[in-house]
């Protein structure tokens, strides 16, 4: 089936997403003045937010290892009716492993590049996530945040591209960009980080190292789990906590840069300072999620500069609020928020931002 996209001026009253008014949108950022530069924003930050501490890093690592081990222990001892709570705890703690690896990928957790890469490889391998491919692609995302057709983190669906896909791909996109957003990071992981040929030849040695590490880990862990606990044990002790980890990964990634009122811009209109600051969202999650995930939700200072360690993000965020609060997006995590994104942020338009799949399909085939 071929669908022709009509050239039609979008009507905000006919299916496009209006300016957010719900309570979960606590603060909608004003545009930065044209004269504000990235250096001006950076200069308002206290110098100590850039300090890297071996002590703080080790404590963060110990915290996550302890809580991840505790989560798996709870999975082991919990009766069936408490297992969902144990999986949620273990998977959220496991997401902390990824955040540690995330800091290592930016070389910001420890002062040493070697230690960062060693710890990053270890923590991400435990999640069957290849470290160096992720590190390279993720730093590309930071350099191109919300650049239309370029940003590789959570690119919106473009009408001209959508209609060229086979029917089954369109169906998958409608699910991943809608009610099944929480598995989006799984597809992203396999699509972006396992193809050696997608990387520069100079990077391929490190990429292969990470893939070998994941392969050896998986080839050791899963046969052992199968031997001692069977298929049910693989699901119980690894796959289901791993799915919870990906729920948080997908949610964090989506909410950080995809709200009804946040634009993706083509290369001609895109500005680095805006992408680093006003295209990024601070989301308030339950305290225990923020604690176990090392404040990954404190995302605006992290995008302003990746050199701030996670253990200094809150200090940086409070400093930015004192000086630039009206230019910062803030939301509260809730099912209302996720529902609003899941039913609204589908087909992208460069003037009115988002249109629902249903309205796009109706207008394209009328």
Q: Which residue has the higher pLDDT, 150 or 359?
A: 150
Q: What is the pTM of this model?
A: 0.90
d(CA 99, CA 104): 9
Question: Tell me, what's the pLDDT at 160?
Answer: 83
pLDDT of residue 15: 41
Q: To which residue do tokens 């862990």 refer?
A: 221
Question: 242: alpha, beta or left, given left = phi > 0 and alpha = psi -120 to 50?
Answer: alpha
Residue 251 falls inside a structural domain:
no
User: What's the pLDDT score for residue 8?
Assistant: 38
| 329 neighbors 263 (Cβ within 8 angstroms) | no
Kind and range of the H or E run holding 216? helix 204-234
Q: What residues contact 308, with CB distance under 8 A and at least 6 apart? A: 45, 49, 50, 108, 301, 302, 316
Report the 10 Å Cβ neighbour count for 265: 16
Total domains in the fold of the chain: 1
Position 340 in a domain? yes
**56 belongs to a structural domain:** no
* Residue bearing the bigger pLDDT, 186 or 351: 186
Task: Specify if 207 maps to a domain.
Answer: no
Does residue 318 sit within a domain?
yes
Q: What is the mean pLDDT of the chain?
A: 90
Cβ distance 281 to 333 under 8 Å? no
Domain that holds residue 327: 18-50+272-344
Q: How far apart are CA 184 and CA 255, in angstroms?
A: 12
The reply to whether 253 falls in a domain is no
- For 82, the token pair is 């408490």
Instruction: Check if the beta carbon of residue 304 is closer than 8 Å to that of residue 320.
Output: yes
- Domain contains 27: yes
Q: Is the pLDDT reported for residue 54 higher than 80?
A: yes
Closest CA to 207 of 140, 132, 136: 132
Q: Is residue 292 one of the residues assigned to a domain?
A: yes
Q: What is the Cα–Cα distance from 314 to 317, expressed in whole angstroms?
A: 5
| pLDDT, position 321 | 94
User: What pLDDT is stored for residue 366 in this prediction?
Assistant: 58
What is the arithmetic mean of pLDDT over 120-139? 97
DSSP string across 261-302: T---B-TTT--HHHHHHTT-EEEE--HHHHHHTTTTT--HHH
């Amino acid at each position: 089936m071929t669908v022709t996209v009509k050239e039609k001026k979008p009507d905000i009253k006919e299916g496009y997403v209006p300016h957010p008014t719900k309570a979960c949108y606590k603060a909608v950022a004003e545009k930065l003045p044209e004269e504000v530069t990235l250096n001006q924003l950076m200069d308002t930050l206290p110098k100590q937010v850039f300090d890297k501490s071996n002590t703080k890093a080790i404590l963060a690592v110990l915290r996550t290892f302890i809580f991840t081990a505790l989560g798996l222990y709870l999975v082991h001892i919990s009766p069936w009716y408490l297992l969902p709570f144990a999986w949620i705890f273990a998977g959220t703690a496991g997401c902390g492993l990824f955040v540690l690896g995330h800091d290592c990928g930016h070389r910001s957790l420890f002062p040493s590049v070697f230690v960062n890469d060693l710890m990053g490889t270890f923590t991400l391998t435990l999640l069957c996530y290849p470290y160096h491919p992720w590190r390279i692609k993720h730093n590309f995302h930071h350099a191109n945040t919300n650049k239309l057709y370029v940003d590789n983190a959570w690119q919106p669906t473009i009408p001209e591209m959508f209609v060229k896909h086979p029917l089954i791909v369109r169906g998958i996109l409608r699910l991943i960009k809608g009610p099944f957003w929480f598995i989006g990071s799984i597809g992203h992981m396999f699509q972006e980080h396992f193809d050696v040929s997608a990387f520069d030849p100079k990077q391929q040695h490190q990429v292969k190292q990470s893939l070998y590490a994941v392969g050896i880990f998986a080839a050791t862990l899963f046969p052992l789990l199968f031997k001692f606990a069977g298929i049910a044990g693989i699901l119980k002790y690894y796959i289901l906590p791993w799915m919870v980890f990906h729920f948080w990964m997908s949610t964090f990634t989506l909410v950080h840069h995809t709200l009804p009122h946040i634009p993706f811009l083509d290369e001609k209109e895109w500005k680095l300072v805006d992408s680093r600051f006003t295209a990024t969202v601070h989301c308030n999650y339950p305290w225990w999620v923020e604690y176990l995930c090392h404040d990954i939700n404190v995302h605006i200072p992290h995008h302003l500069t990746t050199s701030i360690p996670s253990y200094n993000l809150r200090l940086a965020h409070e400093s930015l609020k004192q000086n630039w609060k009206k230019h910062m997006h803030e939301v509260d995590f809730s099912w209302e928020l996720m529902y609003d994104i899941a039913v609204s942020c589908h087909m992208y338009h460069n003037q009115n931002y988002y249109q629902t799949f249903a309205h796009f399909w109706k207008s394209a085939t009328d």
